[in-house]
Each structure stands twice: as structure tokens, then as C-alpha cells.
Amino acid sequence: MMYDICIIGSGAGGAPIAYELSNAGFSVVVLEKGKEYKEEDFSKDEIGVCRRDMFTPPLDEEFHVINQREDDGTITRYEGNKYNWSFWNGSMVGGSSNLMSGYFHRMKPNDFKLKSMYGEIAGSNIVDWPISYEDLEPYYTKVEKVVGISGEIIQHKFLEPRSCDTFPFPPLEVNGVTKWFDMACKKLGYQSIPTPRAILPHEALGRLGCSYSNFCGSYGCATGAKGSARAALLQKSDAKVITEAFVYKLESDATNVTHAYYYDKEKNSHEIKARIFVLAAQAIESSRLLLNSKNKYFPNGLANNNGEVGKNLIFSAGGVGRGRFSFENLTPLQQTELMQTGLFFNRSLQDWYDYEDEGRRYKGGTIDFLFEHSNIISRARKEIFDDDGNLIWGEALQNKIHKTLTTSRVLTFEVFNDWLATDACFVSVDDEVKDKFNIPVGVINLYGHPHDIKVGTYLANKAIKVLEEMGATDVFMNISSSAPPNLVAGGCRFGENPKTAVLDSNCKAYELENLYVTDASFMPTGGSVPYTWTIYANSFRVAQHLLKKLS
């Protein structure tokens, strides 16, 4: 059978195209490496989800090689299976969008023109986007309505232009501690912003509302309230989804992709023919597939005659911090507010999305505040030492865990700022190591530009001031060049110059007429927000282009 569209990957980059094109009457097939799970399959099993490989490939079967560039310029090689270093996200229908926390911020106009607004930074590959915020704005709005975003619009100096004044769904219920946060920000002269979430507060869009279980990040949503690509889009599409289908090669002639070859779970090979192929397998894996798809027309990998596939890999820079609130420092009312269960702490700061420091203008970022994750094992493990650093056990450990969990609570923050693209951070494939399918594994060459840490530290210090103003103790922050596996982009940049970009402004490969890449690979810069909303919006934008092309 010849399909109109073959999509590799079913997450935020692929699902909008499957949704739009299949519902318009075109034949669409989605090849998904993982299994299909539905609401009834999701539980709050911390051991299965966070301690084992329930939703990700086992590292003894599939892994990456990581080349970590050290500060002195030396490179240390790590094979992920030997060092338990995983860059896998959700491997299932809907991808990692099933497991996201759903913190949704739009990128802002300046994010699309980082080079022209802030200038060159030595050692980095800063470029402007070939499209503007205005080009993407209608699709941000579409995501709000179709995927479902809840929140409240607060006017602030870095609020991006919007075509509608409100979110389509009201904000989720919040914990009483948010009042303390709002007051502290007011005293400091900061603007507290309710955090938009891709979570429905009530039944809508054919899905149930939030159950306030307090288990969002890393867990699938048992009510369908979370706006995963599966719940929001694929379950409402007519696309054919083939699960446990690992695409190992794309075949092409000189101008078009002709076949996608995949292995099923028994390692039997199959082929798919289509008029148009859309690659959305996650930034690292999409580059890996192209690099492994060599032929006589593309000896360096598919769409890679300019040598740009895999280059300019980016993550989200920044880091985390926290502070603890203990009963002994609180009134009875405050104690009650602190221990309210299930309710969200949806507050963010963007006061320094653009700032000046020591006479220089910087692109800053976003700070999201949230309660410590509810995972009981990880929380209990932090209590195994006494105040002098001695290991404790038995009744002493039991009492310490009980006191900590019942009379205190940790408020954390996450900093998001640009990870600058460099020549040293890119995807390649290994010459020797192969996965269980006997395919060369992807190599993640890691390097974080020092500028990223400087900006992240500036933002984190602002967050620390808020925690201290609120009365938190044990305040701590950690800003580093550690690459978050769930926030990765680049590798197939789009741009106006076919010599330096893999994709054109519509995310079509310059060197092939029918290949598109719509996961986060297309992003030349990542902005200073989590990526998912932008991935969704861009995929809806490309879907409109494909509708016109096929029609």
C-alpha cells in the first residue's frame, strides 16, 4: 500500500500532523517504536516508572555513547549501558509527552532572533529563526484549544503578544503557599505569574479533568487530563499506528525518500511506502536515523551532503534549586496550608527574560516553581544521615523520615535559559557499538557553553531571594552544564541557507522533496522555556503546509 503520509514517531512532533492529515481524509501511518498504553494502564508505581524501565528501552539492549567534553578540552567516553546513563524519554504511543509535567510557556519574539537582538557570542553558533513569533502565534493558540492549556493571563513586561486574552481553560487549583510566594514577590518588586499547564482542570475535549494526584512528571496520566500527544490527538485521529516498529533505515533516490524500513518486536523487517515522510523520532534519534541511512546519493547520511545533520545539538540550560519550610517556623494556619495535598504550586517568574548586567544586554529566561516530587522513595532516601553526617537506620531512621515528611515540605525551582549551540555539541553514530537490532548507536557529543551557566546562575540567584523572603531554610541551587535528557533539540536545523541548514522554513529537507522533520530537531535555538508547546505549534504549522501541498 502507498500511504499519503508516513510519520516516524508519535510524540508532540508527529501527532499534530497525524491528527490534521488523517482527519482531512488522507491515509496516514505512524511508526512508533514503543508500545501503546491508555489511561487504564497508568499507575503511580514509582519502582516501575522511576527505578526501572517501564516506559524506556532497557539500557542493556539500547543505549547511547556519550562523549563528555571536559573543561580542559579532553573528551571522556561513556557507553550508556555500562554507566547507567540514559538519554531515553518515553518510548510509547504519544512519546514523552505522556510523562511531561505540562509546564507550557510560549517562546517570545526575541527568542526567534537571538543573533540580531543580542549579537555574536564567541564559541557559539547563534542564528535567527527563518520564521517569526508572529508566524507561529496562531498555532500556539490552536494548541491551547485542541491540546488543552489551562491558566490565567497576567500582564507583565515580557508577556508575548497574544491573539486571545485568556486561556480556554481556567487555572488548576493551587496550594495555599502560593499566597506566600505572591507576597514575597510583591515585596521584592517581582511579578508573580501563574504557570500555564497542559492539564485540563475539568472534563473537556472528550477527556476527564485532573484528579490532583500530585504525580505528573515522569508518570502517565490516568484521567487523560494531561495534554499528551496520545490523549489529545492520536486517540482522536484516523491515523494507523503501528507499535513496536523500530525504523532502522530510510531509503531514497536522488530526490525523494521511497521506503521506510522497520523491525517489529520479533526483529522481522517490513517496509512502508508513502508520498511524504515525516521524521519525528526525537532529536537525537532522528539524526541517528538519517546518519545511518546512507546510500550512493547521500554517502554521509540522508539529507546530509552539506554535513549538517546532527550538528548544533542543544538542550535546555539552567538548573534547579530548593528551600524547605518547617512547622517550627510557621503558624498553625500556615502549617495547614503547607501540607495541603494534591494541589499545584503553579508560579513562574520571567522578570529577567531580558536583562542588563555590567553594561551588557543578556537574554535571560524563565523560573518555574513547584513542590518537591511526591516520589516517596527518593524523598525517604535523603534522610539516611543524621545532622553530623552519620548513617542512621532502624527506629532513628524511621522517626527522621516520619518527622520530615509530616512536618516540613520542600519548594523547588527550575531555571530555563538558552543552551547555546556550538561545534562541540552534536550527534554522530558509533563505528563499533550496535544495539539489539545490530544498528550503530547514536553518539551524543556533549558540551555546554560557559555563557549558559552565567545566565542560569543570574536567574537562580533571583529565585533564591524569593525563597529566603518566604522564610525557607536549607536553601540550595545547582546550575551546571548537565544535559537534561527530556529537553533536547537541534541536529536538523531549519534556516534560509541550504549550505548551513538541513531544513527549509517549512521543515522540509533541502536535499529531498518529500522528507520533513518536525520534532525538536528543527530548532536552531531553544528559547528560555520548555520546548513542548513550541514543538506542538510548529507541527500544526507544518501540517497546514502539507495539507496545501497534498491538496
CA–CA separation, 263 and 249 (whole Å):
10
pLDDT tens profile 507-549: 999 999 999 999 999 999 999 999 999 999 999 999 999 999 9
70 pLDDT band, cuts 50/70/90, is confident
- Please enumerate in sequence order all residues whose Cβ is within 8 A of that of 237, keeping only pairs 6 or more positions apart, or say none: 15, 18, 19, 22, 23, 28
Pairing of strands 354-357, 360-363: antiparallel
The mean pLDDT of 180-186, rounded to a whole number, is 98
315 within 8 A of 421, measured Cβ to Cβ: no
- pLDDT(495) > 80: yes
The mean pLDDT of 104-128, rounded to a whole number, is 97
- CATH architecture classification, 2-41+63-154+171-198+227-550: 3-Layer(bba) Sandwich (3.50)
- The amino acid sitting at 262 is Y
73 pLDDT band, cuts 50/70/90, is confident
- Give the model's pLDDT for residue 52: 85
The structural domains of the chain, with segments of one domain joined by +, span 2-41+63-154+171-198+227-550
- Please enumerate in sequence order all residues whose Cβ is within 8 A of that of 96, keeping only pairs 6 or more positions apart, or say none: 11, 89, 90, 282, 486
- Give the model's pLDDT for residue 236: 97
Phi, psi (degrees; rounded to nearest 5) at 498: -65, -10
Q: Position of cell 508516513?
A: 6
- pLDDT(71) > 80: no
- Higher-confidence residue of 53 and 545: namely 545
In this structure, of 8-22, 46-60, 480-494, 526-540, the range with the lowest mean pLDDT score is 46-60
CA–CA separation, 389 and 384 (whole Å):
9
Counting residues of the chain whose pLDDT is more than 90, the rounded percentage is 94
CA–CA separation, 261 and 117 (whole Å):
43
CA–CA separation, 270 and 493 (whole Å):
30
- Give the model's pLDDT for residue 348: 98
20 pLDDT band, cuts 50/70/90, is very high
pLDDT tens profile 293-345: 999 999 999 999 999 999 999 999 999 999 999 999 999 999 999 999 999 99
pLDDT tens profile 199-229: 999 999 999 999 999 899 999 999 999 999 9
In this structure, of 53-62, 78-87, 452-461, the range with the lowest mean pLDDT score is 53-62
Helix (H, G, I), strand (E, B) or coil at 347: strand
> Ramachandran region of residue 199, left (φ > 0), alpha (ψ -120 to 50) or beta?
beta
pLDDT tens profile 130-164: 999 999 999 999 999 999 999 999 999 999 999 99
- Give the model's pLDDT for residue 51: 81
